[in-house]
Chains A and B, each alone.
Chain A
Amino acid sequence: MVRYVIRRILMLIGIVFIISVGSFYLIHLLPGNITTIIEGPGASPANQAKLYKLLGLDRPIYEQYFVWLGNVLHGNLGTSFISQESVASTIRAALPIDLEMIFISQVLAFAAAIPMAMRSARKPDGIIDRIFGAGSFTLLSVPPFIVIILLVLFISIKLGIPHTGVSTYVAFTSDWIANLESMALPAVTLAIGSFVVYFRVLRSDLIATLQEEFITMARSKGISQRRIMWRHAFRPSSVALLGAAGVNIGGLLAGGFVVQFLLAIPGLGYTLIAAINQNDYLLVQGIVFVVSVGVVLINFIFDFIINIVDPRISRE
């Protein structure tokens, strides 16, 4: 186990290193003078000189990278020349919104997917299983942007739940009820997408697990069906579920921008799109780096959880 964790951490460091190189190069891949790209053609020579020095553009590229990496390791992702704000503090302000949104959506998704998959797997191809299966399959084919449109169209407009405009977003600390109201729509949207994946993965694994001999063994002990499902079948069936959750949550961090953009929730995704539109390349670079590292970290954490849940894996 310890050896496994060490190996994974080394791999993690390697991947983060490569991500940092990739993020760093993102700007250098652009054609033209970097200072002009970053600050725009109208930048003053003084600002250009400042940036030139900051990026160490007079030095060889690998040195520039290490200068940049050194700054990043000190939490300095640069200062946006558009907003004049530090990239790190912009990200620090936006990230909690993503995390809250993801957290709520995942609670909803698991709360629906687990009991429904349990119910479905008990009688595969039974009526309930067929209904759940058809429903989840249909939802699988509805992209999140359409979910939002439909939710806004059929629920939000009718019920008067806030659905658009940055002004409607309220921080959790200032008014948590208003905050949850503004989170309802995006969280439900993300939850639907996650639910479909979790339900389908867990159902098929549960069905496979229920064929196993140790389930018959548990049955022969005379314990209840309910106990067999939760105590014996659930845990060995949750490996793929956790794997899917890792990928999916990473995907929400990276792909949450659709929902945020449409509902004007000022999270990382929203900030990223805004930065792209304003050609705020330093901010784009910062967000790409932070999100990529975040995705890798989430996968790492879930790998770790999987190992705890199923002790067979690290032994292999």
Chain B
Amino acid sequence: MSNVAVSEEQTSIVERPEKKAPLGPLFWICVGWIALNFLGAIFANVLPLQNPLYQDYASINVGPSLHHLFGTDDIGRDIFSRIVYGSRVSIAVGFGAMFIGFGIGTPLGMLAAYRRGRFDTIMTSFMYILLAFPAIIATIAILSFWTPRSLLKIIIVIGFASVPLVYRVIRTATLAVSTKDYIIAAKVQGATDRRILLKELLPNIAPIGVSFLLIGVATVIALEGTLAFLGLSVSPPTPSWGNMINESRTVLQVNPWLAIFPSLALCLFLLSLNFIGDRLRNHFDVTEVKL
């Protein structure tokens, strides 16, 4: 392995800074934006917002003004208030579904990678077959047959559909970590499996898990928007970002604000999530674990 030593001589000192990539101010702006959205979703009832369902026929399709920050929609509802309330659906679906996906996928993936053997073989083949199915079609098919639709059902269906993906990521990450010397050392010292899994492996795959989780949340939120377009998400008049954008289609020429503001809310939220996820991944330098 002398080649390794010499190639280090040329490259490692030059191109591989030992320091972790800094998170940067943009990272914290994104974190702040997500936090702000969370606060808005939680305290929507308490905040001095107009009723998101109240139809003010006196002001229909009006542009942004002091009274209606983002204007009103085609039946006179306040867009700003609907966006704040709508974030509840996106946040609930995104984080709820990932809670289920990671809740099931993480322990299975870690166990499979740690135990290897037959459990791993069976589990992994099973998950890979599930992955072969186009999850999006399965999601749509199930949601369209499973009526009446509710937020909880959407969360459950998407959550379960994400399990194979989460499983694959976690298993790959755990495999990469479990061959490291400190894990082997822990095993040799007679640490219990439970201890190794929870105290050694889990903290080490957490960075990968968290960054994938955030990107997963973003994907699920976009998926909820898609479902809304197909009429498969929460039913109107409950506002969700997807619903609002969908409703805007018919009045696009008359009232572009109805499309632009919810789109902006959705895109900024997704952008922040993706950015945080990406930065964390760079920060913990987990790119070599191919996900």
* B11, B137, B229, B230: residue with the most chain A Cβ atoms closer than 10 Å: B137
Cβ–Cβ contact A292 & B141, under 8 A? no
Closest to A30 in B: B145
Residues of B within 8 A of A276 (CB): 140-141, 144, 230
A230 within 8 A of B: no
Cβ–Cβ contact B132 & A141, under 8 A? no
Minimum distance in angstroms from B178 CB to a CB of chain A: 21
Q: Mark B186-229, 1 if CB is under 8 A from A, else 0.
A: 00000000000000000000000000000000100010011001
Minimum distance in angstroms from B70 CB to a CB of chain A: 16
Cβ–Cβ contact B252 & A15, under 8 A? no
A127 within 8 A of B: no
Closest to B259 in A: A149
Given known A-B contacts A143-B225, A143-B270, A213-B7, A254 and B137 have beta carbons under 8 A apart? yes
B110 within 8 A of A: no
Cβ–Cβ contact B274 & A19, under 8 A? no
Q: Which of B136, B249, B275, B290 contacts A137 (CB 8 A)?
A: B275
A87 within 8 A of B: no
Closest to B230 in A: A273
Q: Which of B132, B225, B229, B248 contacts A296 (CB 8 A)?
A: B132
Instruction: Compute how far the CA of A44 lies from the CA of B27 in the bound complex, rounded to whole angstroms.
Output: 63
Cβ–Cβ contact A291 & B134, under 8 A? yes
Minimum distance in angstroms from B56 CB to a CB of chain A: 25
Stretch at the interface among A50-58, A108-116, A255-263: A255-263
Given known A-B contacts A141-B267, A141-B271, A273-B230, A292 and B245 have beta carbons under 8 A apart? no
Minimum distance in angstroms from A269 CB to a CB of chain B: 9
Cβ–Cβ contact A153 & B256, under 8 A? yes
Minimum distance in angstroms from B10 CB to a CB of chain A: 9
Cβ–Cβ contact B270 & A141, under 8 A? yes
Closest to A255 in B: B136
Cβ–Cβ contact A292 & B267, under 8 A? no
A211 within 8 A of B: yes
Minimum distance in angstroms from A282 CB to a CB of chain B: 13
Q: Mark B128-160, 1 if CB is under 8 A from A, else 0.
A: 010011101110110011000000000000000
Instruction: Compute how far the CA of A299 lies from the CA of B134 in the bound complex, rounded to whole angstroms.
Output: 12
A301 within 8 A of B: no
A140 within 8 A of B: yes
* B interface size (C-beta, 8 A): 42
A86 within 8 A of B: no
A313 within 8 A of B: no
Cβ–Cβ contact B267 & A142, under 8 A? yes
Residues of B within 8 A of A22 (CB): 133
Instruction: Compute how far the CA of A122 lies from the CA of B291 in the bound complex, rounded to whole angstroms.
Output: 25
Residues of B within 8 A of A197 (CB): none
B interface SS class: helix
Closest to B252 in A: A153
Cβ–Cβ contact B274 & A141, under 8 A? yes
Cβ–Cβ contact B141 & A149, under 8 A? no
Given known A-B contacts A153-B256, A204-B287, A276-B140, A15 and B226 have beta carbons under 8 A apart? no
Cβ–Cβ contact B133 & A292, under 8 A? yes
Minimum distance in angstroms from B89 CB to a CB of chain A: 15
Given known A-B contacts A19-B132, A19-B133, A146-B266, A258 and B252 have beta carbons under 8 A apart? no
Cβ–Cβ contact A146 & B11, under 8 A? no
Residues of A within 8 A of B11 (CB): 211
A306 within 8 A of B: no
A121 within 8 A of B: no
Residues of B within 8 A of A254 (CB): 134, 136-137
B278 within 8 A of A: yes
Q: Mark A220-247, 1 if CB is under 8 A from B, else 0.
A: 0000000000000000000010000000
Instruction: Compute how far the CA of A295 lies from the CA of B133 in the bound complex, rounded to whole angstroms.
Output: 8
Cβ–Cβ contact B134 & A137, under 8 A? no
A66 within 8 A of B: no
Cβ–Cβ contact A295 & B141, under 8 A? no
Q: Mark A150-170, 1 if CB is under 8 A from B, else 0.
A: 101100010000000000000
* Known interface pairs A141-B274, A146-B225; 14 further A-B residue pairs with C-beta atoms within 8 A, sorted by A's residue number: A19-B132, A140-B274, A141-B218, A141-B267, A142-B267, A144-B226, A146-B263, A153-B256, A250-B134, A254-B137, A255-B136, A257-B230, A261-B229, A287-B137
Closest 7 CB pairs of A and B: A254-B134, A141-B271, A141-B270, A143-B222, A276-B144, A146-B263, A15-B132
Jot down 22 A-B pairs with beta carbons below 8 A, ordered by A.
A26-B141, A137-B274, A141-B218, A141-B270, A143-B226, A143-B266, A145-B245, A146-B263, A149-B245, A153-B252, A157-B253, A204-B287, A251-B134, A254-B137, A257-B230, A258-B229, A261-B229, A273-B140, A273-B230, A287-B137, A292-B132, A296-B132
